Chains A and B, each alone.
Chain A
Amino acid sequence: MDILKTYKIYIGGSFPRTESGRYYPIADATGKTLANVCLSSRKDVRNAVVAARKAFGGWSEKTAFNRGQILYRIAEMLDGRKGQFIDELMDQGISKSKAEKEVEQSVDRVVYYAGWADKYQQVASSVNPVSSSHFNFSALEPMGIIGIIAPQENSLLGLIELAIPAICGGNTAVVVASESYPLCSITFAEVLHSSDVPGGVVNILTGKVAELAPALAGHMDINALVSCPLGELQTSLALSCVENLKRNFIYTDPNRQGLNFITDLQEVKTTWHPIESIGGATSSY
C-alpha cells in the first residue's frame, strides 16, 4: 500500500497548512484523488509577504557568488529528484516524454541563472564620467518582494522560469502555483528547503489564482508582480498594481529565459561618491 503524500504550502521556510483550513482535491486522469491541496487564503498571502520581507535583507546582502552557489545547489537537488518530478507530472496527466523534457529544462534553467548570479551586475551597471569631482556609478539593486503568478501549463518549469531569476537578483518571492497542476510546486518547495535557500526567500501557495492574484496585486509591500497572460484578470490586477506603483511584468513570449528576467526586477541606483581634490600632484608621472 502506497503512502500518500500530504501537500502543504511553503511559508517562511516551513510547511504549514493554509490558515483557512480549506482544501481542494487534485485527481489523476482516472478521477482518483491524488491529494487534497491547500486552498490558500488572502491571509496566507499576507503571512507569506511578511516572511518574504523578513528574508529580503539577508538574502539581498548575501554575496553574488554565494547566491550563485545556492542556486546551483537547487539544480543539484532538483536533478537528484528528477524521477519524483516526472512521476508527479505523469500522475497529473502529463505524457512521459513531456514530463521528462519539462524536468530536464527545469534543471537547465536553474543552472543557467546560477551562472548569472555574479555576472548580471557587471553586464548591466555603469561607471558614469560626470563633469565634477565624483566617482559616479550606477548599479543594480533588487526591487524587494516579487509577487509571482506561475503559469497554469508547465507547472514546474513555468514556476522556475519566473521565480529563479527573481531570487537570482536578490529579491524574495511569493509564488502562486499553477492552480490545475499544483503538486510539483510543493515538491519543488522541498527542493528549495534542502538547498540552503533561507526560509522566506521563496514562499509558495496553492489555491485559486482568481482569489490569490488580486491579494498579491493589491498588497502594498510587494514591489513587483510577475505573470504570464492571465486573460480577464489582467486588467484588474494592473489597476491594483498602480496603487503603490508596483512594477507589473506580463511575459507573453513562451521562451522564458534571458538576462531581462533578472534585470526587469532590478532598480538602477546611481551613487555620487566624492573624490578628494587637493590640486598640485597630477597624473602626469
Chain B
Amino acid sequence: MANTNSSKIAPEWNYSPAPENTHHIRLEKKYQLFINNEWVAPSSKKYFPTTNPATEEVLAEIAWANDADVDKAVKAARKAYREVWSKLSGAEKGRYIYRIARMMQERAREFAVIESLDSGKPIRESRDVDIPLACNHFFYYAGWADKLEYASPAKNPESLGVAGQIIPWNFPLLMAAWKIAPALAAGNTVVLKPAETTSLTALKLAEIIQDAGLPAGVVNIVTGHGDTGAAIVNHPDVDKIAFTGSTNVGKIIQRAIIGTRKKSTLELGGKSANIIFDDAPIDQAVEGIVNGIFFNQGHVCCAGSRLFVQENVAERVIQKLKSRMESLYVGDPLDKNTDIGAINSKEQLQTIQKYIRIGKEEGAEIYQSGCTLPSKGYFCRPTLFTGVSQSHVIAQEEIFGPVLTIQTFRTLDEVIQKANNSPYGLAAGVWTDKGSRIFNLTTKLRAGVVWANTYNKFDPVSPFGGYKESGFGREGGIHGLSAYLK
C-alpha cells in the first residue's frame, strides 16, 4: 500500500448519482420579516438574495431588517412577554413547544432539503443530524416548561424577559432550535436573527410557529446582515443576548452590552484537539478524525481541527487517513452519496483558501484528496497538513473549513500540554482503548465537551459550551436552562 497518489485506487468504482427530490418543497420568491405572527415588509424596503452555494443560483430574496424593524420586533416580543407568555402556566407553554416539535417532525424532509439547498451541507447530514436534533431539542425543552423549579438548585427561577438571539450559518435550523426552545421553556419571548447566508429554514420555522398557534409576538424572526444583529444587541429593551458565532464578534457584543442590564451567553470559536493514542482502534479512530474535521465541510465550531497522533502509530494513521480521504465524495449537497458538500459562501471559501496558502508558506506539508470538484459552486478539497508545529498560524487560528493540522506526541503529559495550549477551549476528542485513561484525560483537558472514541456527537440532553475564549454559558440539557433564568 505504498501509494503516493492513492487517488488512483479504483476511480471507476463510483456510485451513480442519487439526488434527493426537491419537488415537494415550498419556497417563496420573497421572504418578509416575521413579527407578531405576521409577515411584515421591512421598513428599510431592502432585500438581499440568498443563494445555493453549490450552484450559485439565487433561491429567494430575504428582507433586510433595519433598526426600526428590530424595534418593532422587540416591542412585539415585550408585549407578548408582558401580556401573554409570562401569564401562561408552565404546562400551557410546554404544550405549544411540544406542538412545534411535532410539526417540525412532520415536515422534517422538507426542512432537510431546504437546509441543504441554502447552506450547502450534504443531505445525509441535514436529514440525519441537523433536522432531527432540532426537533428533538424542542421536544426536550417542552417538557421543562412546567418543571423549572427543578432546574436550578440555588434559586427559584424566573424568566428574563425578551431574549435577542443571533445565530450562525453552519447549523441554521439546529442553532435556531438551540436558542428558541430553552428560551421559550424558561418563559422568555424571542427575537431571533438567522445568519444572512442561511435564513430560509428559520423562516420556514416561522410558518410552523404560525401554524402551531403560538401567541403573537412570542417568537419574532428578523433577517438581515450584521447591522441587523447590532440593532438587536444595542436595543435597550432586550434583557438577554444569546450569540453563537466567531470569537471576534462575540467580543464586540460583550463590549457593547457593558453597563446595560443585558445578560449574555456566547458560544464562540474553537481549535479543538483530537488525540489518538497508540492503543486506539485505528480504523475507528480514522473515521472519527474524518467526522471530526470534515463533518459539515469543517464548518463546526468544535471541529477536531488539531489532530495529535501518538508518534509510534502516526505513520499508519496518516496513511489510512489519506486513503480514507480519497474515498470521500465532494459535490452536490443533495446527492445522498455526498460526504462533503459546498462551502457555505464565497467569502468563507476565500478565508479557507487564505489559510491553506498560509499553511504552505509556513512550511507545513499539504495533502489534498484528488477528487474532482464541481465546475460551479464553492467547494474545497479535504485537506491535511503534516509537519505542523504549535506556533503555526494554521495550528492556532480557527479556519472553519475542511482543513486538518497534524502533530505528533510521545507522552501523555506532552499531549495534554499541547492540547491545552490554545486560547480556545470548546471541545476535544480522545481515542484510546483504556477507560481509566479516558477519565484521566477528560479531567485534564480544558474544554467544555470531551468526546471519547467518538466526535461531533450532539444530543438535546447534553450540555454544550466552552471554556476560555470559546465563550460562556451552556446550551442543551439542564444546564442550558440557566442561560434563560434568573
* Residues in chain A within 8 A of chain B (CB atoms): 123-124, 126, 128-132, 134, 136, 138, 141, 143-144, 223, 234-235, 238-239, 242-245, 247, 258-260, 263, 267-274
One of A131, A235, A271 near B450 (C-beta < 8 A) = A271
Say whether A238 contacts B251, CB under 8 Å.
no
Residues of chain B with a CB closer than 8 A to A260's CB: 154-155
**Cα A134 to Cα B451 with chains together (Å):** 10
B467 part of interface (Cβ distance < 8 Å) = yes
CB < 8 Å: which of B255, B477, B478 contacts A242? B255
Q: How many angstroms between the C-alpha atoms of A258 and B155 in the bound complex? A: 10
B469's nearest neighbour on chain A, judged by CB, is A245
Residues from chain B with Cβ under 8 Å of A144 in the complex: 446
* B 431-443 binary contact with A (CB < 8 Å = 1; else 0): 0000100110011
Question: In whole angstroms, what is the CA distance A49 to B471 when docked?
Answer: 22
**How many interface contacts (CB-CB < 8 Å) are there between A and B?**
106
Interface size class of B (residues with CB under 8 A): 35 or more
Residue positions of B touching A, CB distance < 8 A? 136, 153-155, 247, 250-251, 254-255, 258-259, 266, 268, 423, 435, 438-439, 442-443, 446-454, 457, 459, 461-465, 467-469, 471-472, 474, 477-479
CB <8 Å contact, A235 and B258: yes
- B459-A130 in contact (CB<8A): yes
A113 to chain B, nearest CB (A): 14
| Residue from A130, A245, A272 within 8 A of B266 (CB atoms) | A245
Do the beta carbons of A272 and B451 come within 8 Å of each other? Answer: yes
| Chain B contacts for A143, CB-based, 8 A | 467
Given known pairs A128-B463, A136-B461, the reply for A272 and B452 (CB within 8 Å) is yes
Given A244-B423, A247-B472, decide whether A238 and B258 contact each other with a Cβ distance below 8 A. yes
Do B454 and A272 have beta carbons less than 8 Å apart?
yes
A-B contact pairs, 25 of them (CB 8 A): A128-B459, A130-B457, A130-B461, A132-B459, A134-B457, A136-B461, A138-B474, A223-B468, A238-B258, A242-B254, A242-B258, A258-B154, A259-B153, A259-B154, A260-B154, A260-B155, A268-B465, A269-B442, A269-B447, A269-B449, A270-B450, A270-B462, A271-B449, A272-B454, A273-B439
The distance from the CB of A123 to the nearest CB of chain B, in whole angstroms, is: 5
- B459–A131 CB distance below 8 A: yes
B447 neighbours in A (Cβ, 8 Å): 269
List the B residue with the shortest CB-CB distance to A245: B469
Question: In the bound complex, what is the Cα–Cα distance between A245 and B254 (angstroms)?
Answer: 9
Taking a contact as CB atoms under 8 Å apart, the answer to whether B462 and A136 are in contact is yes
- The verdict on A273 contacting B459 (CB below 8 Å), with A238-B259, A244-B468, A263-B154 known, is no
Closest CB pairs A-B (n = 8):
A130-B459, A128-B461, A259-B154, A238-B258, A274-B453, A271-B442, A272-B451, A123-B153
A141, B443: Cβ atoms closer than 8 Å: yes
Q: Nearest Cβ distance between residue A214 and chain B, in whole angstroms?
A: 15
When the two chains form their complex, are residues A245 and B250 in contact, meaning their CB atoms are under 8 A apart?
Answer: yes
A78 vs B283: C-alpha distance in the bound complex, in angstroms?
A: 59
Q: Which residue, of A138, A223, A260, A274, has the highest number of chain B Cβ atoms within 10 A?
A: A138
